[in-house]
Every structure is written in C-alpha cells, then in structure tokens.
C-alpha cells in the first residue's frame, strides 16, 4: 500500500513540474491566461502567477498532491532571409 501511495506522489510531482514548465513558458509569452490554460491542459491548477521583472514570470502549479514552481522568459529569435536554419532532426 505504501509503495502505491509513494508511486502516486512521484507521478504527481513529475506531472506538476511538467505542467509548471509549460505554464511558465506560455505565461512568459502570452500572460497569465495562457499560463492558466496550459496548466489546466496538463491536469493542473495554476496557484500563482507573478512577474519577476519585465520579461520573467514565475508560476506555481498543483497537480494532485504535488506542487511545482517554474520560471521562464521569452526568447527572441532573429531569422534572416536567405540564411538556412539548423538541419531537420531525424526521427528515431
């Protein structure tokens, strides 16, 4: 019984971290509503959203019995015409 409870908590912690990472990335680009949507899409609840500075956000997401916090900021990528991008990644 104890192994099942511990296993469930480990799964919840992993899912909470994944949901927090996704929510932070979405929130850094599109704000709190995007962070909330991504948290919910990952079976989580957005408990906190805060701006650290102009670019960085921090979110806390709960999934089941676990909670995770993540920070993110948007990355600006400049693409120049006529300059090839990285080669495509091959599938396994």
**CATH number of 19's domain:** 3.30.1300
Angstrom CA distances, 85 to 74, 79, 90, stand at 20, 8, 15
46/27 Cα distance (integer angstroms)? 11
Q: Output the CA angle 80-25-17, nearest 5 degrees.
A: 140
Partners of 49 in the beta sheet?
59
Query: With contact defined as beta carbons under 8 Å apart, do 73 and 57 qualify?
Result: yes
For the chain, the domain total comes to 1
Q: Is residue 22 part of a domain?
A: yes
pLDDT tens track for 12-67:
999 999 999 999 999 999 999 999 999 999 999 999 999 999 999 999 999 999 99
Query: Structural domain of residue 25, as residue ranges?
Result: 2-72
Q: Is residue 52 part of a domain?
A: yes
Q: What is the predicted pLDDT for the residue at 4?
A: 54
Q: Is residue 88 part of a domain?
A: no
Reported as a pLDDT band with limits 50, 70 and 90, residue 73 is: very high
Mean pLDDT in residue range 68-78: 89
Tokens at 80, concatenated = 């120049």
Three-class SS of residue 42? coil
């Amino acid at each position: 019984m104890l192994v099942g409870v511990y296993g469930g908590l480990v799964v919840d912690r992993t899912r909470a971290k994944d949901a927090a990472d996704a929510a932070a990335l979405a929130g850094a680009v599109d704000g709190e509503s995007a962070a909330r949507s991504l948290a919910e899409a990952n079976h989580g609840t957005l408990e906190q959203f805060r701006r650290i500075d102009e670019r960085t956000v921090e979110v806390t997401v709960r999934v089941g019995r676990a909670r995770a916090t993540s920070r993110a900021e948007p990355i600006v990528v400049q693409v120049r015409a006529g300059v090839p991008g990285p080669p495509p990644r091959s599938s396994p």
